[in-house]
Structure 1
């Protein structure tokens, strides 16, 4: 190792957490990105460019920011933004790219002016923990939903995870992964016929700027990314006591999006749910060493960038129950830690409860998801209760 990092000590727990995070990240959204690219009329080669640019951008930013701040910073893409764009047909790809750049420029402006940091400072840590717990409950419950269709696979993964924690707690996620893949292979659940090779490519997608598209695509993409990705992303880091300054993180992701948008990287941002997988005690007892999992994560991003358009078919080859079980089991420790943190302060417990319930509900108002509204309702109740207590 370099003399600059004498205390680096990689372990299989770091590797396993990174595998879980990358599988959850790609497995839950790769198909959505594919559909969004198709909605704007992208060719197969252009779709490959989308995935190559996103993998490279997220990998570089995850690596540089994690090393710079010695914190587990995970950069991903705006899944809510991609989902929103799936239904936007009839917009030329060039005009869509112009809107991506406009949304990134707005994010950079909001961050550089200090507005984003002031927004995050308004969120008590207990409410941030409750919001994350509410989101993660849905992921955790999918473990048991997936048992209905693949009982043997999920029971084996769950049993391996729980039993290995008795003697090998730091390797429990890795052993669970191995058990799941081994079962899927022997049971014929790996659909390798779905794998199709397509070389990576970076294709310049010339931006065009149409005022109507800037408003109809760029502004919703900016808002969705701000309130459902970047705000929760910082809140998750604060819940784990990482006080990394928000401004340079948001500046970096916004600038990266602005530069790579003409290649298909529609919007990069801080990850929240998948990022939490690399922040728990199971990853490393020492919080200062957990960022090592994100170095592995960056390497996986680079590998998937090299795969380009084959990413979608790669995840199509895995049984969905394996992905659900992996996502759910991997966040058990994180979910428990946030449930405990949400109730630490007696004065905020009612606000935390409302935040958790609203975040877990899956509701959507005005096109904005439940995580944002959970925080809004929780903060309103928090300030209301403070006024009542003062009186």
Structure 2
């Protein structure tokens, strides 16, 4: 999978599904989590120009790194901004000066470059059993599957329409199920007049450079938590998503490239970007393309869409955010059903590790939040501990002593 392929022939159908998978992943990312960036910018008191620069930096950075990595390795290496880190910054940016936050971003990015170049990340990932990795992924994605159907309580007409269209096309032509719900869902929203686009105006974003400053407070309160949250909440599950779908590219180049990209974009406002986890699963599974060797197109397409959003700053981000929440959650959940199912199957196949995998799945689905560290980390930690205790070898034995 990691070999560089110079040229691959195919018809337009080989491009349609992965391109749409890339588009859906971008829509889900902006529509589902990008509001956290705007909230953090508001807490920091950033001007509209600095906010637009943040959007530009993180979108362009994500787009270029994801496009380049997917093209070079011919694998769907989807990059994204760190969502748990953005949630953390909603609180943290109110406690440090913006220039100090920029300095903290640089330190965190440099740490990821060192981690990638040293090869330590690859060695850590290889220690995780495949059943535990699959269970972790299934647990992380479970909430998205649940939200696909929870939308029926909030917006019955829209959620039911998307679900019914999905099931009908799964029966008639499974390959076009996701295409159908995206297309028909947008048509429904337009005719139902549920998209208010009157305030949208196209305008190119202008990056604004902010000179970094450094302080011990910013290092301890922003840089260190930012590094740990991004490592445990994004990089680790993101690499496991690739492994789960059979892609074995070394993690080190991915960590290094995204770390360098984050470092270069930090002075323009980008907090951190990395390999994606949840939105990556939309592009790495069978829903993107039956042939794994064609799924890299989804990574390139997602990169191009991210770059387009970045060029137009907050305009297109606001467009995606204008989509109803039920549309976003149902679309994401249905697109991830196949991945959730295959992950559960892989996790529970081996009887010897089934209970540890089940514990990992439930602990990850619980989304435990402790010490500002994401639920993915705690789910993985609990799962590995369960696997060690249930399946590890212990030299201690109880022996009956002679009386």
Normalising by the smaller structure, the TM-score range is over 0.9
State the Cα distance separating 1:67 from its structure 2 match: 1.1
Which residues in structure 2 correspond to 1:112-261 (within 5 Å)?
112-261=117-266
Aligned to 1:348: 353
Query: In structure 1, what is the Cα distance between the partners aligned to 2:394 and 2:348?
Result: 18
Query: In structure 1, what is the Cα distance between the partners aligned to 2:280 and 2:111?
Result: 24
Q: Secondary structure at the match of 1:364?
A: coil
Query: In structure 2, what is the Cα distance between the partners aligned to 1:116 and 1:49?
Result: 31
Residue 12 of structure 1 contacts residue 174 of structure 1 at CA under 8 Å; is this kept in 2? no
Query: In structure 2, what is the Cα distance between the partners aligned to 1:121 and 1:83?
Result: 29
State the Cα distance separating 1:387 from its structure 2 match: 2.6
Aligned to 2:7: 5
State the Cα distance separating 1:46 from its structure 2 match: 0.8
Distance 1:235 1:90, change over 3 A: same
State the Cα distance separating 1:198 from its structure 2 match: 4.4
Confirm whether residue 17 of structure 1 aligns to residue 21 of structure 2.
yes
Confirm whether residue 367 of structure 1 aligns to residue 369 of structure 2.
no
Residue 71 of structure 1 contacts residue 290 of structure 1 at CA under 8 Å; is this kept in 2? yes
Query: In structure 1, what is the Cα distance between the partners aligned to 2:181 and 2:364?
Result: 28
Query: In structure 2, what is the Cα distance between the partners aligned to 1:289 and 1:317?
Result: 31
Confirm whether residue 379 of structure 1 aligns to residue 384 of structure 2.
yes
State the Cα distance separating 1:225 from its structure 2 match: 0.4
Aligned to 1:65: 69
State the Cα distance separating 1:238 from its structure 2 match: 0.8
Structure 2 unaligned residues grouped into runs of 5+: 398-403
State the Cα distance separating 1:196 from its structure 2 match: 4.6
Residue 200 of structure 1 contacts residue 306 of structure 1 at CA under 8 Å; is this kept in 2? yes
Structure 1 vs Structure 2 CA RMSD: 1.6
Query: In structure 1, what is the Cα distance between the partners aligned to 2:220 and 2:46?
Result: 21
Aligned pair partner of 1:75 in 68, 79, 84: 79
Aligned pair partner of 1:36 in 36, 40, 63: 40
CA deviations on 1:196-225 (whole Å, 9 max, x unpaired) are 544311111111111211111000000000
Query: In structure 2, what is the Cα distance between the partners aligned to 1:320 and 1:6?
Result: 38
CA deviations on 1:117-150 (whole Å, 9 max, x unpaired) are 1211111111111111111110011112111121
Larger radius of gyration: 2
Distance 1:92 1:198, change over 3 A: farther
State the Cα distance separating 1:15 from its structure 2 match: 2.1
TM-score, normalised by the number of residues in structure 2: 0.93
State the Cα distance separating 1:312 from its structure 2 match: 4.2
Query: In structure 2, what is the Cα distance between the partners aligned to 1:110 and 1:199?
Result: 35
Query: In structure 2, what is the Cα distance between the partners aligned to 1:224 and 1:194?
Result: 35
Query: In structure 2, what is the Cα distance between the partners aligned to 1:344 and 1:389?
Result: 24
Query: In structure 1, what is the Cα distance between the partners aligned to 2:104 and 2:215?
Result: 8
Which residues in structure 2 correspond to 1:48-59 (within 5 Å)?
48-59=52-63
Residue 126 of structure 1 contacts residue 239 of structure 1 at CA under 8 Å; is this kept in 2? no
Structure 1 unaligned residues grouped into runs of 5+: none
